[in-house]
């Protein structure tokens, strides 16, 4: 009886510790999510919202700006995420070398962009690729260009600049995850493989990649989630231009809420579209990861 009473006390104190955090999560996360879903079922501008059922969700498939923004984020996803994760994995493998000198310094340098404020890093790339920016200055001096090129006014190259900015900022972040995973792999496995005659490439493909599969899956899901919600870089580098050719879903939500005639109901619908896309892609990636 006394033991049962002690167990109840321990459970009670455990719940008392958990309760404040749970309450904050409910108030700051789940309650706004429910409110946003209810708002997505309403139409109208400003505060004049009326229940309209799923009409906003039907509108998504007929909205050219929304479809364009989806195409843009999928373009960033297809090109940027594999490049970034591959670079992060290669850098982590190099910086995990047992005999590499100053590897702490190199790790810090590569991770530093991640510690830079999002707006600051975006403004750096906007300045670099402006008409009178550093990139044009160098290309003119070496004779590759005869006149400055408007990188941010070209639909294709504006996307390339955004991809470069995202890759520069987040490669070091993902590298840290891979380094943590690599440091949990016993170095004797590599020694044994080397004695058996396995090349560096063979060790990477047959030892490193299989043992890092859970970490690779985690970083892929996080990177997918982040790319689908991309906002700061696009907002500060191109502001969706030229002619909305770099517009992302998150920026479209911002425009619907604060730039255009405020339509909070439809903006909430677009927000839930991101949620559904993230959930579907994360589920698919987990299933693919399990099969492989």
220-274 confidence digits (pLDDT tens): 888 988 898 899 889 999 988 888 899 999 999 999 888 887 888 888 899 988 8
124: domain CATH number?
Answer: 1.10.3720.10
CA distances from 242 to 152, 234, 245 (A): 7, 11, 6
Assess if residue 183 is contained within a domain: yes
How far apart CA 63 and CA 49 sit, in angstroms, is 20
Q: And the tokens for 170?
A: 């987040």
Query: Does 8 map to a domain?
Result: no
Write the pLDDT tens digit of every residue in 177-234: 999 888 888 878 888 888 888 887 888 888 888 888 889 888 988 898 889 889 988 9
| Residue 246: DSSP 8-state | T
Would 265 be classed as within a structural domain?
yes
Beta bridge partners of 42: 51
Give backbone dihedrals phi and psi of 50, rounded to 5 degrees, phi first.
-130, 145
Q: Is residue 53 part of a domain?
A: no
List the one residue out of 280, 273, 279, 269 whose CA is nearest residue 37: 269
Q: Which of 13-17, 46-50, 269-273 has the lowest average pLDDT?
A: 46-50
Is residue 111 included in any domain, yes or no? yes
Quickly tell me which residue has 């992060």 as its tokens.
Answer: 88
Question: In total, how many domains does the chain have?
Answer: 1
CA distance 78 to 65: 20
- Residue 127 is assigned to a structural domain of this protein: yes
Q: Which domain holds residue 110?
A: 59-291
Residue 282 has pLDDT above 60, yes or no: yes
For residue 264, tell me if it sits in a domain: yes
Nearest to 85 by CA among 159, 174, 212, 210: 174
| pTM for the whole structure | 0.85
pLDDT at 289 (0 to 100): 65
Query: Could you tell me if residue 38 is inside a domain?
Result: no
Six token digits for residue 148? 């400055």
């Amino acid at each position: 009886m006394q033991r049962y009473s002690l167990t109840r006390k321990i459970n009670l104190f455990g719940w008392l510790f958990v309760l404040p955090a749970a309450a904050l999560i409910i108030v700051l996360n789940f309650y706004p999510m429910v409110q946003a879903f209810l708002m997505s079922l309403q139409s109208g501008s400003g505060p004049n919202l009326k229940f309209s059922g799923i009409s906003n969700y039907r509108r998504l498939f007929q909205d050219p700006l929304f479809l364009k923004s989806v195409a843009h984020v999928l373009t960033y996803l297809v090109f940027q995420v594999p490049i970034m994760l591959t670079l992060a994995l290669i850098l982590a493998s190099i910086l995990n070398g047992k005999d590499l000198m100053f590897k702490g310094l190199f790790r810090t340098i590569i991770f530093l962009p991640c510690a830079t404020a999002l707006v600051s890093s975006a403004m750096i790339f906007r300045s670099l690729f402006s008409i009178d920016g550093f990139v044009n200055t160098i290309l003119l001096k070496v004779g590759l260009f005869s006149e400055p090129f408007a990188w941010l006014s070209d639909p294709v190259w504006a996307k390339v600049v955004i991809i470069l900015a995202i890759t520069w900022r987040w490669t070091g972040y993902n590298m840290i995850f891979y380094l943590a995973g690599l440091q949990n792999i016993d170095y004797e496995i590599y020694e044994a493989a080397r004695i058996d005659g396995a090349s560096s490439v063979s060790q990477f493909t047959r030892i490193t990649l299989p043992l890092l599969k859970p970490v690779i899956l985690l970083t892929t899901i996080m990177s997918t989630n982040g790319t689908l919600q991309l906002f700061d870089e696009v907002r500060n580098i191109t502001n969706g231009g030229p002619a909305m050719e770099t517009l992302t879903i998150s920026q479209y939500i911002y425009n619907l809420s604060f730039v255009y005639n405020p339509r909070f109901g439809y903006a909430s619908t677009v927000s839930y579209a991101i949620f559904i896309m993230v959930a579907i892609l994360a589920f698919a990636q987990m299933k693919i990861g399990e099969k492989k």
